[in-house]
Amino acid sequence: FGVGNKPGDTEDYYFGESYMSAKSIPPLQVLSEPLKLAGGLRVLVHGDPTFMVMENLKRQFEQSIGAQIHQRAFSIDRLHEEAVRNAERKASKYDIIAVDLPWVGEFAERQILMPLDDAMDVARLDPADFHTAGWQAAHWGGRPYGVPAQTTPELLFYRKDLFAAAGLEPPATTDALLAAAKALHDPQSGQHGIAWNAARGTALGHTVLMTLADFGQPVFDLPPIAGGFATDQLADRRYNVTIDTDAGLRAGEFLLELLKYSPPDILSMSWYERVRPYAAGRIAMAYGYTLLAPYFELDEDSPANGQTGYLPHPAGPGANPIAPVGGYIMGIPANLPPDRVPAAVEALRVFTSPEAQKLYVQNGSRTNPRYSVGADPDVRRLSPVFEAVDAMSWRDELQFWPRPPVPEIAEIIQICGEEFHDMLRGLITPSETLRRAQERADAVIKKHRST
């Protein structure tokens, strides 16, 4: 792109149609014509800090679209259940639904979501302004099924002050991470080296897939490309599971090492539990989504406030540092009555616009799917996380191949989260763990292929 490689240079980039100079995004505008929606706009979302900010700003959005908004928020597993249940209704109960990125393939194949290009001119969204990995993750079979509402990479949070006091460099490799965790692990004084998603099932399953990726391998035999692995052919359904591999063994052994420098309740820690003790100052490092950064960034009493550095996942030997992308898209249910679709599309455009995204950040969100918002000087002043994530995006470290959005992914994550939990509890060896997880995952793929 003809600019320097320093992270601070990113605001000078051009990207697609979006000019990245330090321009301030204007406030949210009121639509020239209010939306006509009998009973108001009905939205189904996930109960996390970003969507809760949307709920807090409801009045402003109601003024903007000229209609009442009724928002229901569920935990991740209940959100999936409700979206599936809603698809079985004759007419959708919701105009817009939030969808976790790994569900995109399943929801496209099961016709739970309407292809976005059936409902609108996608160019109106300025697709080039979205973080590339977040926009790609909204696609299945080459078609978009929603608009990125949150792009939240999982990063390594680390205490800059503790690292400086111990004379440690920020870790770029798994070996350096283990050395830092060991150096900063002092259970006698109530401080532990690292926290991560290790609770049985979905939580640990995600860790397994991301750790595999840290050692340079996806959970399926995806074709390698520059910067990672290709995911654009997933809809052809010709992929096979790759868990019982050399990289799988290295990943399993790494997690066993990590366990030594983790808090005693690590095997029941999941999404929020790993960040709370980090925010409380009891843990030196934590793997966490940027989504969770408000727990310490907005708490002036937190020892991690103003002392947190953000890194991509440290890489195993021969692999590159990556920041696995998570987050949510917002899409239109396939069974939404046709007379409600145009207004739902307009509301979707407003909710995911740069103006709306900036407003979420100003009110406490720490996720952002758009380059223009990350480059906004008002946004940059609020948190170092935006500049860090933008720099990772430009370096091609934001990747969504670690958790490919295939229809079977939820079951495979669950399997990994069960088998590796038994390994971490000392019940089975790493090699036995890999064999069992591989066999069970192969059976899931076979079952889906035959239906």
DSSP for 320-343, written as a single string: --BEEEEEEEEE-BTTS-GGGHHH
Please give the helix or strand (H or E) that residue 277 lies within, else none.
helix 275-279
Handedness of CA 209, 212, 213, 214 (dihedral sign): positive
Distances (CA, A) of 50 to 59, 76, 93, 322, 323: 16, 14, 23, 23, 19
What pTM value is reported for the model? Answer: 0.89
Higher pLDDT, 238 or 34: 34
Averaged pLDDT, 9-28: 58
191: which 2 tokens? 């401080």
Report CA-CA distances (Å) from 136 to 102, 160, 368, 400.
12, 33, 15, 8
Give me the domains of the chain, ranges plus CATH numbers.
27-152+325-399 (3.40.190.10), 153-323+405-450 (3.40.190.10)
pLDDT of residue 8: 40
Coil, helix or strand at residue 365: coil
Distance of alpha carbon 244 from alpha carbon 57, whole angstroms: 47
- Proportion of the chain above pLDDT 90, given as a percent: 84
Predicted pLDDT of residue 11 = 40
Q: How much is the average pLDDT of 185-209?
A: 96
How many whole angstroms separate alpha carbon 13 and alpha carbon 226?
A: 21
Q: Which residue has the higher pLDDT, 191 or 232?
A: 191
What's the pLDDT at 21?
Answer: 52
pLDDT category, 448, cuts 50, 70, 90? confident
For 35-60, what is each residue's pLDDT tens digit?
999 999 999 999 888 888 889 999 99
Q: Which amino acid is at 222?
A: L
d(CA 418, CA 200): 6
